[in-house]
Structure 1
Protein backbone atom coordinates (compact mmCIF):
# COMPACT_ATOMS: atom_id res chain seq x y z
CA UNK A 1 0.00 0.00 0.00
CA UNK A 2 2.82 2.38 0.88
CA UNK A 3 4.48 1.89 -2.51
CA UNK A 4 1.17 2.62 -4.25
CA UNK A 5 0.81 5.86 -2.28
CA UNK A 6 4.40 6.86 -3.10
CA UNK A 7 3.74 6.20 -6.78
CA UNK A 8 0.53 8.20 -6.67
CA UNK A 9 2.32 10.99 -4.80
CA UNK A 10 5.02 11.00 -7.47
CA UNK A 11 2.44 11.38 -10.21
CA UNK A 12 0.50 14.10 -8.39
CA UNK A 13 3.45 15.82 -6.72
CA UNK A 14 6.02 15.86 -9.47
CA UNK A 15 9.57 16.76 -8.55
CA UNK A 16 8.57 17.81 -5.01
CA UNK A 17 6.67 14.61 -4.25
CA UNK A 18 8.96 13.65 -1.37
CA UNK A 19 9.32 17.09 0.18
CA UNK A 20 7.58 17.49 3.52
CA UNK A 21 7.32 20.67 5.53
CA UNK A 22 8.98 21.06 8.94
CA UNK A 23 7.27 19.12 11.69
CA UNK A 24 6.67 22.12 13.94
CA UNK A 25 4.49 23.73 11.27
CA UNK A 26 2.40 20.71 10.38
CA UNK A 27 1.93 19.66 14.02
CA UNK A 28 1.04 23.15 15.22
CA UNK A 29 -2.44 23.29 16.83
CA UNK A 30 -3.60 25.96 14.35
CA UNK A 31 -2.53 23.77 11.42
CA UNK A 32 -4.32 20.74 12.83
CA UNK A 33 -7.43 22.83 13.55
CA UNK A 34 -7.39 24.19 9.96
CA UNK A 35 -7.27 20.68 8.54
CA UNK A 36 -10.18 19.59 10.75
CA UNK A 37 -12.29 22.45 9.38
CA UNK A 38 -11.12 21.72 5.82
CA UNK A 39 -12.09 18.06 6.25
CA UNK A 40 -15.59 19.07 7.41
CA UNK A 41 -15.93 21.46 4.48
CA UNK A 42 -14.97 18.66 2.12
CA UNK A 43 -17.51 16.37 3.81
CA UNK A 44 -20.11 19.05 3.06
CA UNK A 45 -18.93 19.02 -0.57
CA UNK A 46 -19.31 15.25 -0.65
CA UNK A 47 -22.84 15.49 0.75
CA UNK A 48 -23.76 18.15 -1.80
CA UNK A 49 -22.31 16.09 -4.67
CA UNK A 50 -24.06 12.93 -3.53
CA UNK A 51 -27.31 14.84 -3.11
CA UNK A 52 -27.04 16.09 -6.70
CA UNK A 53 -26.68 12.52 -7.96
CA UNK A 54 -29.67 11.40 -5.85
CA UNK A 55 -31.82 14.28 -7.13
CA UNK A 56 -30.91 13.48 -10.72
CA UNK A 57 -31.66 9.80 -10.13
CA UNK A 58 -35.03 10.51 -8.50
CA UNK A 59 -35.99 12.89 -11.31
CA UNK A 60 -35.00 10.28 -13.90
CA UNK A 61 -36.98 7.55 -12.12
CA UNK A 62 -39.99 9.92 -12.04
CA UNK A 63 -39.76 10.25 -15.82
CA UNK A 64 -38.18 13.69 -16.02
CA UNK A 65 -35.55 14.31 -18.65
CA UNK A 66 -32.26 14.97 -16.89
CA UNK A 67 -29.73 16.53 -19.26
CA UNK A 68 -26.42 14.78 -19.86
CA UNK A 69 -24.65 17.91 -18.53
CA UNK A 70 -26.27 17.33 -15.11
CA UNK A 71 -25.05 13.74 -14.96
CA UNK A 72 -21.58 14.71 -16.12
CA UNK A 73 -21.36 17.56 -13.63
CA UNK A 74 -22.49 15.30 -10.79
CA UNK A 75 -19.88 12.66 -11.56
CA UNK A 76 -17.14 15.27 -12.01
CA UNK A 77 -18.00 16.93 -8.67
CA UNK A 78 -17.76 13.61 -6.85
CA UNK A 79 -14.43 12.84 -8.54
CA UNK A 80 -13.07 16.30 -7.71
CA UNK A 81 -14.14 15.97 -4.10
CA UNK A 82 -12.41 12.61 -3.72
CA UNK A 83 -9.28 14.15 -5.23
CA UNK A 84 -9.47 17.08 -2.82
CA UNK A 85 -9.81 14.66 0.11
CA UNK A 86 -6.64 12.91 -1.05
CA UNK A 87 -4.78 16.22 -1.32
CA UNK A 88 -6.01 17.30 2.14
CA UNK A 89 -4.96 13.98 3.68
CA UNK A 90 -1.48 14.15 2.16
CA UNK A 91 -1.11 17.84 3.05
CA UNK A 92 -2.02 17.03 6.63
CA UNK A 93 0.87 14.54 6.55
CA UNK A 94 3.13 17.45 5.61
CA UNK A 95 3.49 17.05 1.86
CA UNK A 96 3.95 20.49 0.34
CA UNK A 97 2.81 19.38 -3.11
CA UNK A 98 -0.57 18.30 -1.69
CA UNK A 99 -1.04 21.59 0.16
CA UNK A 100 -0.12 23.44 -3.02
CA UNK A 101 -2.55 21.43 -5.19
CA UNK A 102 -5.36 21.74 -2.65
CA UNK A 103 -4.79 25.48 -2.43
CA UNK A 104 -4.71 25.87 -6.22
CA UNK A 105 -7.77 23.75 -6.94
CA UNK A 106 -9.81 25.33 -4.16
CA UNK A 107 -9.29 28.63 -5.99
CA UNK A 108 -9.75 27.41 -9.58
CA UNK A 109 -12.74 25.07 -9.17
CA UNK A 110 -15.09 27.77 -7.81
CA UNK A 111 -14.30 30.10 -10.70
CA UNK A 112 -14.84 27.38 -13.31
CA UNK A 113 -17.98 26.18 -11.56
CA UNK A 114 -19.52 29.65 -11.39
CA UNK A 115 -18.68 30.44 -15.01
CA UNK A 116 -20.28 27.19 -16.18
CA UNK A 117 -23.31 27.77 -13.92
CA UNK A 118 -23.80 31.15 -15.61
CA UNK A 119 -24.37 29.56 -19.03
CA UNK A 120 -28.09 30.07 -19.62
CA UNK A 121 -30.12 26.87 -19.88
CA UNK A 122 -27.22 24.47 -19.35
CA UNK A 123 -28.39 23.34 -15.91
CA UNK A 124 -31.71 23.35 -14.10
CA UNK A 125 -32.13 25.84 -11.26
CA UNK A 126 -31.44 23.24 -8.53
CA UNK A 127 -28.09 22.37 -10.17
CA UNK A 128 -27.11 26.04 -10.48
CA UNK A 129 -27.88 26.45 -6.77
CA UNK A 130 -25.77 23.36 -6.00
CA UNK A 131 -22.88 24.84 -7.97
CA UNK A 132 -23.06 28.14 -6.12
CA UNK A 133 -23.04 26.39 -2.73
CA UNK A 134 -20.21 24.10 -3.89
CA UNK A 135 -18.19 27.17 -4.91
CA UNK A 136 -18.79 29.01 -1.65
CA UNK A 137 -17.62 26.04 0.37
CA UNK A 138 -14.47 25.69 -1.73
CA UNK A 139 -13.77 29.39 -1.28
CA UNK A 140 -13.88 28.65 2.46
CA UNK A 141 -11.28 25.92 1.98
CA UNK A 142 -9.09 28.34 0.01
CA UNK A 143 -9.47 30.93 2.76
CA UNK A 144 -8.11 28.53 5.38
CA UNK A 145 -5.23 27.47 3.14
CA UNK A 146 -4.31 31.06 2.34
CA UNK A 147 -4.05 32.17 5.95
CA UNK A 148 -0.71 33.59 7.05
CA UNK A 149 -0.24 30.70 9.45
CA UNK A 150 -0.80 28.01 6.80
CA UNK A 151 1.51 29.68 4.31
CA UNK A 152 4.19 29.83 7.02
CA UNK A 153 3.58 26.21 8.01
CA UNK A 154 3.95 25.11 4.37
CA UNK A 155 7.02 26.89 3.01
CA UNK A 156 7.92 26.30 -0.61
CA UNK A 157 10.74 23.87 -1.27
CA UNK A 158 14.03 25.53 -2.09
CA UNK A 159 14.84 25.68 -5.78
CA UNK A 160 17.73 23.58 -6.95
CA UNK A 161 20.71 25.71 -7.87
CA UNK A 162 22.41 24.82 -11.12
CA UNK A 163 25.83 26.09 -12.00
CA UNK A 164 27.12 26.65 -15.48
CA UNK A 165 30.19 24.60 -16.50
Structure 2
Protein backbone atom coordinates (compact mmCIF):
# COMPACT_ATOMS: atom_id res chain seq x y z
CA UNK A 1 0.00 0.00 0.00
CA UNK A 2 2.75 2.44 0.96
CA UNK A 3 4.61 1.70 -2.28
CA UNK A 4 1.49 2.38 -4.36
CA UNK A 5 0.79 5.63 -2.54
CA UNK A 6 4.38 6.71 -3.10
CA UNK A 7 4.14 5.77 -6.79
CA UNK A 8 0.95 7.80 -7.18
CA UNK A 9 2.45 10.81 -5.42
CA UNK A 10 5.71 10.62 -7.35
CA UNK A 11 4.14 10.08 -10.78
CA UNK A 12 1.02 12.15 -10.24
CA UNK A 13 2.37 15.13 -8.35
CA UNK A 14 -0.26 17.20 -6.59
CA UNK A 15 -3.02 15.29 -8.36
CA UNK A 16 -1.47 11.94 -7.36
CA UNK A 17 -4.29 11.15 -4.95
CA UNK A 18 -7.14 12.32 -7.17
CA UNK A 19 -9.37 9.37 -8.05
CA UNK A 20 -12.53 9.51 -10.14
CA UNK A 21 -15.93 8.42 -8.86
CA UNK A 22 -16.41 4.68 -8.36
CA UNK A 23 -19.64 4.75 -10.36
CA UNK A 24 -17.72 5.94 -13.43
CA UNK A 25 -15.17 3.14 -13.08
CA UNK A 26 -17.94 0.55 -13.02
CA UNK A 27 -19.73 1.99 -16.04
CA UNK A 28 -19.92 -0.64 -18.84
CA UNK A 29 -18.26 1.70 -21.36
CA UNK A 30 -15.35 2.31 -18.99
CA UNK A 31 -14.92 -1.41 -18.37
CA UNK A 32 -15.06 -2.06 -22.13
CA UNK A 33 -12.53 0.70 -22.82
CA UNK A 34 -10.01 -0.70 -20.36
CA UNK A 35 -10.54 -4.18 -21.81
CA UNK A 36 -9.60 -2.79 -25.23
CA UNK A 37 -6.58 -1.01 -23.78
CA UNK A 38 -5.38 -4.24 -22.16
CA UNK A 39 -5.69 -6.15 -25.44
CA UNK A 40 -3.86 -3.42 -27.33
CA UNK A 41 -1.07 -3.50 -24.74
CA UNK A 42 -0.85 -7.28 -25.08
CA UNK A 43 -0.53 -6.79 -28.84
CA UNK A 44 2.22 -4.19 -28.20
CA UNK A 45 4.03 -6.76 -26.05
CA UNK A 46 3.76 -9.40 -28.79
CA UNK A 47 5.10 -6.93 -31.36
CA UNK A 48 8.01 -6.02 -29.08
CA UNK A 49 8.85 -9.65 -28.34
CA UNK A 50 8.57 -10.54 -32.03
CA UNK A 51 11.15 -7.88 -32.87
CA UNK A 52 13.60 -9.37 -30.39
CA UNK A 53 12.93 -12.92 -31.63
CA UNK A 54 13.44 -11.85 -35.25
CA UNK A 55 16.71 -10.13 -34.34
CA UNK A 56 17.92 -13.24 -32.50
CA UNK A 57 16.97 -15.55 -35.38
CA UNK A 58 18.67 -13.31 -37.94
CA UNK A 59 21.78 -13.07 -35.76
CA UNK A 60 21.96 -16.86 -35.52
CA UNK A 61 21.54 -17.01 -39.31
CA UNK A 62 24.71 -14.94 -39.64
CA UNK A 63 23.27 -11.50 -40.29
CA UNK A 64 24.65 -8.51 -38.45
CA UNK A 65 21.90 -6.72 -36.59
CA UNK A 66 22.60 -3.02 -35.99
CA UNK A 67 22.87 -1.81 -32.42
CA UNK A 68 19.91 0.53 -33.07
CA UNK A 69 17.64 -2.49 -33.62
CA UNK A 70 18.56 -4.08 -30.28
CA UNK A 71 18.18 -0.75 -28.50
CA UNK A 72 14.81 -0.03 -30.12
CA UNK A 73 13.43 -3.50 -29.39
CA UNK A 74 14.45 -3.27 -25.74
CA UNK A 75 13.07 0.25 -25.34
CA UNK A 76 9.71 -0.76 -26.85
CA UNK A 77 9.33 -3.52 -24.27
CA UNK A 78 10.26 -1.18 -21.41
CA UNK A 79 7.84 1.46 -22.67
CA UNK A 80 5.10 -1.14 -22.90
CA UNK A 81 5.74 -2.23 -19.31
CA UNK A 82 5.43 1.39 -18.22
CA UNK A 83 2.16 1.68 -20.10
CA UNK A 84 0.84 -1.39 -18.27
CA UNK A 85 1.48 0.41 -14.97
CA UNK A 86 -0.31 3.53 -16.21
CA UNK A 87 -3.24 1.45 -17.47
CA UNK A 88 -3.45 -0.42 -14.16
CA UNK A 89 -3.51 2.78 -12.11
CA UNK A 90 -5.94 4.47 -14.52
CA UNK A 91 -8.26 1.48 -14.28
CA UNK A 92 -8.26 2.04 -10.52
CA UNK A 93 -9.42 5.60 -11.20
CA UNK A 94 -6.22 7.63 -10.89
CA UNK A 95 -6.47 10.69 -13.10
CA UNK A 96 -2.69 11.14 -13.35
CA UNK A 97 -2.31 7.63 -14.84
CA UNK A 98 -5.07 8.26 -17.37
CA UNK A 99 -3.37 11.52 -18.40
CA UNK A 100 0.07 9.88 -18.73
CA UNK A 101 -1.33 7.02 -20.77
CA UNK A 102 -3.18 9.46 -22.98
CA UNK A 103 -0.12 11.67 -23.42
CA UNK A 104 2.22 8.80 -24.27
CA UNK A 105 -0.30 7.30 -26.70
CA UNK A 106 -0.04 10.56 -28.62
CA UNK A 107 3.71 11.15 -28.38
CA UNK A 108 5.12 7.65 -28.96
CA UNK A 109 3.52 7.07 -32.37
CA UNK A 110 4.85 10.38 -33.67
CA UNK A 111 8.37 9.75 -32.38
CA UNK A 112 8.31 6.17 -33.66
CA UNK A 113 7.16 7.13 -37.14
CA UNK A 114 9.67 9.95 -37.42
CA UNK A 115 12.50 7.60 -36.43
CA UNK A 116 11.19 4.93 -38.82
CA UNK A 117 11.42 7.48 -41.64
CA UNK A 118 15.18 7.95 -41.17
CA UNK A 119 16.73 6.21 -44.18
CA UNK A 120 18.85 3.10 -43.48
CA UNK A 121 18.59 3.37 -39.69
CA UNK A 122 16.60 0.15 -39.40
CA UNK A 123 16.05 -2.86 -41.63
CA UNK A 124 12.69 -3.04 -43.41
CA UNK A 125 11.20 -5.54 -40.95
CA UNK A 126 11.96 -3.16 -38.05
CA UNK A 127 10.32 -0.26 -39.90
CA UNK A 128 7.21 -2.43 -40.29
CA UNK A 129 7.38 -3.25 -36.55
CA UNK A 130 7.50 0.46 -35.73
CA UNK A 131 4.50 1.17 -37.92
CA UNK A 132 2.51 -1.63 -36.25
CA UNK A 133 3.60 -0.32 -32.82
CA UNK A 134 2.41 3.16 -33.80
CA UNK A 135 -0.95 1.94 -35.08
CA UNK A 136 -1.56 0.07 -31.81
CA UNK A 137 -0.58 3.16 -29.79
CA UNK A 138 -2.92 5.29 -31.87
CA UNK A 139 -5.65 2.75 -31.05
CA UNK A 140 -4.97 3.19 -27.33
CA UNK A 141 -5.08 6.96 -27.76
CA UNK A 142 -8.35 6.69 -29.66
CA UNK A 143 -9.96 4.71 -26.82
CA UNK A 144 -8.64 7.16 -24.21
CA UNK A 145 -9.88 10.25 -26.04
CA UNK A 146 -13.40 8.96 -26.62
CA UNK A 147 -16.15 11.21 -25.32
CA UNK A 148 -16.98 8.68 -22.62
CA UNK A 149 -13.43 8.39 -21.31
CA UNK A 150 -12.88 12.15 -21.28
CA UNK A 151 -16.11 12.50 -19.30
CA UNK A 152 -15.10 9.64 -17.00
CA UNK A 153 -11.76 11.28 -16.16
CA UNK A 154 -12.55 14.95 -15.56
CA UNK A 155 -9.65 17.23 -14.84
CA UNK A 156 -9.29 17.78 -11.08
CA UNK A 157 -10.33 21.17 -9.79
CA UNK A 158 -7.50 23.43 -8.74
CA UNK A 159 -7.34 23.97 -5.01
CA UNK A 160 -8.53 27.42 -4.00
CA UNK A 161 -6.27 29.64 -1.95
CA UNK A 162 -7.45 30.32 1.60
TM bucket, shorter chain: over 0.9
- Distance between the aligned counterparts of 1:6 and 1:59, measured in 2? 44
| Count of residue pairs the alignment pairs up | 162
Output the aligned Cα RMSD: 0.9
For 2:119, the equivalent position in structure 1 comes to: 120
Q: 4+ runs of 1 displaced by more than 2 Å?
A: none
Question: TM-score, length-normalised on structure 2?
Answer: 0.97
Give the superposition deviation at 1:58: 1.2
For 2:51, the equivalent position in structure 1 comes to: 52
Which structure 1 residue ranges, 5 or more long, are not aligned? none
Give the superposition deviation at 1:25: 1.2
For 1:111, the equivalent position in structure 2 comes to: 110
2:139 counterpart of 1:154 = no
Question: TM-score, length-normalised on structure 1?
Answer: 0.95
Give the superposition deviation at 1:23: 1.3
How do 1:24-103 and structure 2 match up within 5 A? 24-103=23-102
Indicate the SS of the match to 1:21: coil
- Distance between the aligned counterparts of 1:5 and 1:41, measured in 2? 24
- Distance between the aligned counterparts of 2:136 and 2:97, measured in 1? 19
Indicate the SS of the match to 1:141: helix
